[in-house]
């Protein structure tokens, strides 16, 4: 096929030559045209000897028939024939110098293709990295906005829920947390509390599947949780928030199957930024907690308790309700410190605080009033029931044995109770409870005194 094309090209060129040649009248024009055949082979891609010989024969033959045996014919013959050995020389040198030229050419073509493929691969990687950077920047801005004005974990959870539930491919989001108070051990294995708004049936299903789930407990980072697939028959992506090597909270995203991998990757970008914000919120909450909580007993400090008491009085005035104020004091506590030391004294204080907390109802407000004194707000209760609570505290604490240096001892507590009514302000209410406590101390201790009015402060057995 290549030879056919070659001869066709040669034929076309020669036909063009003779067409032009026949149009010329003057011999010197024809002479120049014949000489023009000399450089034509040089325009080919490589040295082509047969190509040149064809032009050489054409030029000499045409010169002979045009000029005859003249000087012009001789010059043309010498010029064209002398070029043949020169062309052979250059052609043979290339063959000697580059015996594997075709092989090397193929190798270079292969390398060129490799470079083109590598360039495309690098271009694809660069595009992927640019998209990843864009997503990281986007999540950084979101996380920064989320945590900027958040003071409590619940606010952060609600804001995060609003951001994630509108994202493409997300069916719904379940945010959970482990709420630990300031004085709980970090190793305390609490259940995950669900913060998202779910119907009761779905909430029960989620609660039963995520708690005591070994797959969730072993999470080190964002992952697809296979054990939760049956909830919606769709992938569930977990974004665990691990702080100080403990699972602090976990966000679950129920997503369409084709988006599963995407949200695993996005979790890897998002969680580190969110973790910083969460730590800031936790630190802020801890500082607030320390400002209102007694470090030893875990009860409210006096100043914060008085704020709660004032709010309770305002509420009672508004809704025309009553409540009780209970003041408690450990009997002969100074003697405990002097005899057994302050470490044992602290243990007695902590045990007393726990006894009071476990005896009152959920929602009753307890504070450490100072030293060995405690104070409790008990609302929405009858006088009979408040006396039962006080008796339970007194009896439970009396039955507790403390050990020191192979010696066993127990402590007792005196309790004063005052009832709030519409004519009582905060100072009077505290004063009345204190008067009842003072009388309990002066009546042999280890008893309960109820304040009704100035002339009626009675002992309750």
What pLDDT was estimated at residue 156?
A: 64
% of the chain surpassing 70 pLDDT:
78
pLDDT category at 48 given cuts 50, 70, 90 is: low
- Of 33-37, 214-218, 220-224, 446-450, the poorest mean pLDDT is in 33-37
CATH tag, 302-460: 3.30.70.270
Per the annotation, the verdict on 372 as an active-site residue is yes
Mean pLDDT of the chain: 81
Enumerate the domain spans of the chain. 2-97, 148-287, 302-460
Annotated catalytic residue, options 201, 372, 373, 384: 372
Secondary structure, 3-state, the chain = CHHHHHHHHHHHHHHHHHHHHHHCCCHHHHHHHHHHCCCHHHHCCCCCHHHHHHHHHHHHHHHHHHHCCCHHHHHHHHHHHHHHHHHHHHHHHHHHHCCCHHHHHHHHHHHHHHHHHHHHHHHHHHHHHHHHHHHHHHHHHHHHHHHHCCCCHHHHHHHHHHHHCCCCCEEEEEEEECCCCCCCCCCCCCCCEECCCCCHHHHHHHHHHHCCCHHHHCCCCCEECHHHHHHCCCCEEEEEEEECCEEEEEEEEEECHHHHHHHHHHHHHHHHHHHHHHHHHHHHHHHHHHHHECCCCCCECHHHHHHHHHHHHHHHHHHCCCEEEEEEEECCHHHHHHHHCHHHHHHHHHHHHHHHHHHCCCCCEEEEEECCEEEEEEECCCHHHHHHHHHHHHHHHHCCCEEECCEEECCCEEEEEEECCCCCCHHHHHHHHHHHHHHHHHCCCCCEEEEEECCEEEEEC
* CATH class given for the domain over 148-287: alpha beta
Query: What is the model's pTM?
Result: 0.48
What pLDDT was estimated at residue 154?
A: 61
- Of 46-60, 214-228, 244-258, 408-422, the poorest mean pLDDT is in 46-60
pLDDT in tens, 264-304: 988 887 787 777 766 766 676 666 666 788 989 999 999 89
């Amino acid at each position: 096929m290549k030879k056919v094309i070659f001869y066709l090209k040669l034929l076309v060129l020669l036909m063009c030559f003779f067409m032009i040649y026949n149009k010329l009248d003057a011999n010197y024009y024809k002479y120049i045209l014949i000489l023009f055949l000399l450089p034509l082979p040089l325009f080919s891609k490589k040295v082509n000897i047969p190509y040149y010989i064809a032009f050489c024969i054409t030029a000499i033959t045409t010169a002979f028939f045009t000029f005859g045996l003249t000087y012009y014919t001789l010059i043309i013959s010498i010029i064209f024939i002398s070029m043949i050995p020169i062309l052979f020389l250059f052609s043979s040198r290339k063959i000697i110098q580059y015996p594997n030229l075709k092989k090397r050419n193929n190798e270079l073509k292969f390398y060129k293709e490799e470079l083109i493929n590598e360039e495309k691969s690098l271009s694809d990687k660069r595009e992927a990295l640019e998209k990843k950077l864009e997503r990281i920047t986007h999540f950084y801005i979101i996380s920064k906005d989320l945590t900027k004005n958040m003071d409590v974990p619940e606010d952060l959870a609600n804001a995060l829920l609003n951001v994630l539930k509108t994202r493409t491919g997300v069916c719904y989001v379940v945010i959970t947390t482990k709420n630990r108070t300031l004085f709980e051990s970090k190793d305390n294995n609490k259940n995950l509390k669900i913060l998202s708004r779910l119907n009761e049936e779905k909430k029960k299903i989620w609660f039963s599947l995520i708690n005591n789930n070994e797959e969730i407990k072993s999470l080190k980072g964002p992952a697809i949780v296979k054990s939760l697939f049956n909830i919606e028959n769709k992938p569930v992506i977990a974004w665990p928030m691990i702080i100080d090597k403990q699972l602090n909270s976990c966000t679950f995203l129920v997503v369409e199957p084709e988006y599963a991998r995407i949200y695993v990757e996005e979790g890897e970008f998002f969680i580190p930024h969110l973790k910083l914000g969460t730590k800031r919120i936790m630190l802020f909450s801890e500082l607030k907690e320390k400002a209102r909580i007694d470090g030893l007993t875990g009860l409210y400090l006096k100043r914060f308790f008085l704020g709660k008491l004032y709010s309770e009085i305002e509420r009672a005035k508004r809704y025309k309700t009553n409540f009780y104020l209970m003041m408690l004091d450990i009997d002969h506590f100074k003697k405990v410190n002097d005899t057994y030391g302050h470490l044992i004294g602290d243990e007695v204080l902590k045990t007393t605080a726990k006894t009071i907390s476990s005896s009152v109802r959920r929602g009753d407000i307890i504070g450490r009033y100072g030293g060995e004194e405690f104070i409790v707000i008990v609302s929405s209760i009858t006088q009979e029931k408040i006396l039962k609570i006080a008796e339970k505290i007194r009896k439970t604490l009396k039955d507790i044995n403390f050990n020191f240096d192979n010696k066993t001892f127990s402590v007792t507590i005196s309790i004063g109770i005052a009832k709030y009514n519409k004519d009582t302000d905060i100072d009077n209410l505290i004063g009345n409870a204190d008067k009842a406590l003072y009388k309990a101390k002066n009546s042999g201790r280890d008893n309960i005194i109820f304040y009704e009015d100035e002339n009626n402060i009675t002992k309750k057995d």
